[in-house]
Amino acid sequence: MTAPTVVRVGGDATYDVLVGTDLVAEIPRVLGADVRQVLVVHPPALAAQVRPVRQALDAAGITATLAVVPDGEAAKTAEVAARLWSVLGRAAFTRSDAVVSVGGGATTDLAGFVAATWLRGVRVVHVPTTLLAMVDAAVGGKTAIDTAEGKNLVGAFHPPAGVLCDLSLLRTLPAAEIASGMAEVVKAGFIADPAILDLVERDPAAATAVDGGLRELVERSVRVKARVVTDDLREAGGREVLNYGHTLGHAIEKAEGYTWRHGDAVSVGLVFAAELSAATGRLDSTVVERHRSVLTSLGLPTAYDRARWPQLLDAMRVDKKARGAVLRFVVLDGIGRPALLEGPDEALLTATYDKVSA
């Protein structure tokens, strides 16, 4: 078996992201020697994937309590979080105990939030089971639940004790889910690592094959996020570059009632952000078209409903990235050169949206 790649995330609480296959046996070591019991949070569809996790914990003498939570964003509610707090309380979890998440980004967001808030913070280890969670949600220490007013509006920064990106868990993932995760991979390429774009353009099918080029893409994407997060855990400045494509992307998700995949919405958002960069004289049109060609080659959308623009504009005004009444967009001055655009004229935004509307 090939040894896992270890990517170190620095900052106030240093931890490792392991990328490889068959990593379940690493969970007890990553948790640490003094953990007595663990809450394993997972959606119902992943019961089979949780069994080896429980076996690894049992073999290490760690008591595992399983908590089944709803699929997707339905898990990220105050009610579900309160139910998990109740489970932790009844099982007398202490500060030396821990939470393990097994699931996609919604599961890691919820489990991380519960870990951050129980006794003001206990350890959490993430075992992401989707490509999107491996390269985005599970790495970086952002945790959150949703409210009726929007996604991820209630949360905390809580770095995990470790993240295990076990690529073998992706073998049964539908192609559409791989594509969704690739939107975040492509984002990493445009903001920091153009080699990612070269790999995808050379052969999209080979680059996204679980037993082919996907490992390198995951490693590169995690390294990009690790570098940014190490310098700015709490989004005081530099971390905002990770929001490239996300201002419009989150608005599309909200408009669709979170029925669109995150990566599909971000894909449209990436093209919008590139067009906005070009409209403000920052980016060459050939790079804008490169956005479209790379994303299209992966089966991702690059346009959205023209009639929804007023609704999207309203949603962007209450986005977490806004400051007061000022909209903020991450743009590009070139590949690998992200920058911030504050308060663009509404007429400019409308004209830019026309270029990504269908």
Annotated catalytic residues are 120, 142, 184, 225, 235, 239, 243, 246, 250, 262
CA 304 to each of CA 182, 261, 265, 330, 353: distance values in angstroms, whole numbers, following the listed order: 19, 14, 9, 19, 9
CA 149 to each of CA 10, 71, 77, 114, 146: distance values in angstroms, whole numbers, following the listed order: 33, 20, 12, 20, 8
**Cα separation of 290 and 295, whole Å?**
8
Per DSSP, which regions of the chain are E strands? 5-9, 15-20, 37-42, 63-68, 98-103, 123-128, 142-147, 150-157, 162-166, 328-332, 338-342
**Cα separation of 192 and 184, whole Å?**
12
**Cα separation of 102 and 40, whole Å?**
7
Helix/strand/coil percent split, the chain, to 5:
50, 20, 30
Neighbour order of strands in the sheet with 162-166: 5-9, 15-20, 162-166, 123-128, 98-103, 37-42, 63-68
Look at residues 262, 251, 236 and name the one whose alpha carbon lies nearest to residue 340: 236
